[in-house]
Amino acid sequence: MHAKTDLTDWALLHYLFNKSRELNLSKDSYIPINYKCIMNENPMLGISTKDPLTVRFKRLESIGLINSHKSIDNHKFIKLTNLTFSIIGGWQDE
């Protein structure tokens, strides 16, 4: 059985969704992750260190809401899954 999501998880997913749109990425593209940026742009999450984000990303991946990739130079990338898009409401091209 997987852990349930909470409002913070969905705030992160919504942030990633908006970030991918802002960067003009396709639905299937990986989003470069900058932990400091996430924390600075989302102070309402109350997350001030990298570790809680890492734990949340691992959990979101384990329940199929994101896929992650770490590059050779240790940069993290995340892609939202079709499950996430079906819950958020899909990818709407303008």
pLDDT at 94: 46
Distance from the Cα of residue 34 to its chain's centroid: 11
Whether 1 maps to a domain, the answer reads: no
Query: What's the domain range around 57?
Result: 7-88
Strands 76-80 and 66-70: antiparallel
Backbone conformation region of residue 89, classed left if phi is above 0, alpha if psi is from -120 to 50, else beta: left
For residue 53, give the CATH number of its domain.
Answer: 1.10.10.10
Whether 41 maps to a domain, the answer reads: yes
**Digitized pLDDT (tens) for each residue of the chain, 94 residues in all:** 355 899 999 999 999 999 988 888 888 899 999 999 999 999 999 999 999 999 999 999 999 999 999 999 989 999 999 999 888 876 555 4
Whether 94 maps to a domain, the answer reads: no
pLDDT at 91: 59
Whether 24 maps to a domain, the answer reads: yes
As for how many domains the chain has, the answer is: 1
pTM of the predicted protein model: 0.86
Is-contact 42 51, C-beta < 8 A?
no
Residue 4 exposure: Cα atoms within 13 Å on the Cβ side = 2
pLDDT at 38: 96
The rounded distance, in Å, linking the Cα atoms of 25 and 73 is: 22
